[in-house]
Amino acid sequence: MQSRRSRLDRFLSNHLCINRRDVRLLLAQGRVKLDHRQADDIQQLVDQYTHVQVDGRILQAETASYIMLHKPPGVVSATKDSVHRTLIDLLPAGHPENLHIAGRLDFNSTGLALLTNDGRWSRGLSSPDANIEKRYRVRVDKPVSQQLVTAFSEGLYFAYEKLTTRPAQLFIIDNHHVDVILKEGRYHQVKRMFGRFQIEVLSLHRLSVGKLKLDENLLEGDSRSLTDQEVSAALTASFPWSVR
C-alpha cells in the first residue's frame, strides 16, 4: 500500500481549486487546521491520515488502523484466497477497509500477526535498515547445540539466492525449544536455517515484533486494535526478554 503525501499548499490548492497565494492567505488568517491544530506552514506534509479542516469544513478525516491478531495454524497471511481462510476472514464484521498484512507468517506458523492500512508503518516494519527484531518460539525435532548458536550469529550462506543471512540470535530453552531473533524475513528462513543442520522445525510461533508482544489474553483467531503506544513500540528494534 502506497502512502499519499503532499505539501499542505498543494493539497489545499487541489482540493479547494485555489491558487497557492490564496492558500497562504488562508493560513495567515488562521482558517486551516491539521489534526485539530491551527496550521501555519505551507510546507507541512499531509498524508492520507491527516485530519484537515478549512473554516470548520472537513476536507479529509480518514483514520489509520492497526490490528493485532493471534494467527492460528492453517490460515493464509493474505487478504484474499480462493481455497483457504485468510487473516481478513478472521476479523469481526465491520473491520476497516483496505487492510494489508504487515509481515507475513507461513501457513502453519502461529502467533503475532499485524494488519494495517498505513503503508508507511508496514514498510517501516519490513525495512532491513530499521533493524526491527522479530522473535519466534521454535519447536524442533532434536536438541540444538552451541554450534548452531554460533552459526546463527555469524549468518548462513544460501547458494540458491547467493546471499548470507544477517546475524541472528538463538537462545536454547530446552532440548526441543529455542527462541530465534531475526532482523529480516526471508522465505521460510527459520526452517531453512535449521534445515542446514538436518534439524526439522515442528512449529514456529511469533512472539514479538520490535517491542510489541503478542497479547497473552488473545486466543487463536482473536484480534484487537493496537494502542498508540503499541503502534510506536512495533517500530522499536528490541524488547528486553528473559528466556523461560
On the CB side of 9, CA atoms within 13 Å amount to: 12
Q: Are 243 and 215 spatial neighbours (Cβ–Cβ below 8 Å)?
A: no
SS (H, E, C) 65-134: CEEEEEECCCCECCCCCCCCCEHHHHCCCCCCCCCEECCCCCCCCEEEEEEECCHHHHHHHHCHHHCCCE
* 106, 118, 129, 222: the active-site residue: 106
CB count within 10 Å of CB 192 equals 15
CA 146/CA 6 separation, integer angstroms: 52
Grid coordinates representing 15 are: 482540493
Q: 126 to each of 63, 146, 166, 167, 210, how far by Cα in Å?
A: 22, 29, 14, 16, 11
Q: 137 to each of 31, 72, 127, 130, 176, how far by Cα in Å?
A: 53, 14, 22, 22, 11
The answer to whether residue 81 is catalytic is no
Q: Are 218 and 108 spatial neighbours (Cβ–Cβ below 8 Å)?
A: no
CA 76/CA 96 separation, integer angstroms: 19
Q: Are 223 and 67 spatial neighbours (Cβ–Cβ below 8 Å)?
A: yes
Q: Which residues are catalytic?
A: 106
